[in-house]
Chains A and B, each alone.
Chain A
Amino acid sequence: EVQLLESGGGLIQPGGSLRLSCAASGFTFSMTSMAWVRQGPGKGLEWVSIIAASGGATHYADSVKGRFTISRDNSNSTLFLQMTSLRVEDTAVYYCAKARGLFVFSFDFWGQGSLVSVSS
């Protein structure tokens, strides 16, 4: 059974930093691209960052480029999102999403989400 368990969310002040983790199990993590997708309060889905199976290629939405860093530990089947210079508009539920395979053509499993609240 595929499981994606996010952790690391919480309340943080603007300008602060936070690191999200996503522990994966039930599939071959090292052969699967992964992504972070967020959803602001009352808003739609927004992709944040994508990382290739090997970790060699990464992509970022313009809204987070230069502030967020995606990474993965294939030996421990864990995905990370380091978030710095956080803004109020980064407040959202952050989902870890598993691609169907090597490429992010679609996401077949999602974590339960981790709430990040940026507020003073």
Chain B
Amino acid sequence: QSALTQPASVSGSPGQSITISCTGTSHDVGSYNYVSWYQQHPGKAPKLMIFDVTNRPSGVSTRFSGSKSGITASLTISGLQAEDEADYYCMSYTTSSTVVFGGGTKLTVL
């Protein structure tokens, strides 16, 4: 199972919006609405930000939103803040009843 494809890095200025893409295949992203997104700050454990493509866990800012079209999912962060600077990973459930992660995207807030 190959990793989902994410851009290595994205950047934006405070207050702007950015979108991170996550491209899979018909065996993962394209088969289920079970894409999740994780935020990871240096030296910390990952934190769930979005589950089931569009849902936010309790306590996650409404500035974070998710979507999906075909085999590509996206995470959008609006009103960028300095604290959003982190690595972001997408993950999808697969037709093999396992999961697959994206390679990760480093978000820099300029």
Q: Which residues of A contact B (CB under 8 A)?
A: 35, 37, 44-47, 50, 57, 59, 61-62, 95, 100, 103-113
Contacts and interface: CB of A to CB of B under 8 A. Distances in A.
Contacts of B47: 110
A103 to B, nearest CB: 7
Given A44-B3, A100-B51, A105-B34, A110 B45 contact: yes
Interface of B: 1, 3, 32, 34, 36, 38, 40, 45-48, 51-52, 57, 87, 89, 91, 93, 96-104
Given A95-B45, A113-B45, A107 B101 contact: no
Contact of A110 (B46, B96, B98, B101): B46
Contacts of A107: 36, 38, 46, 48, 91
Nearest to A57: B97
Nearest to A99: B99
A112 to B, nearest CB: 6
A106 B34 contact: yes
B99 A104 contact: yes
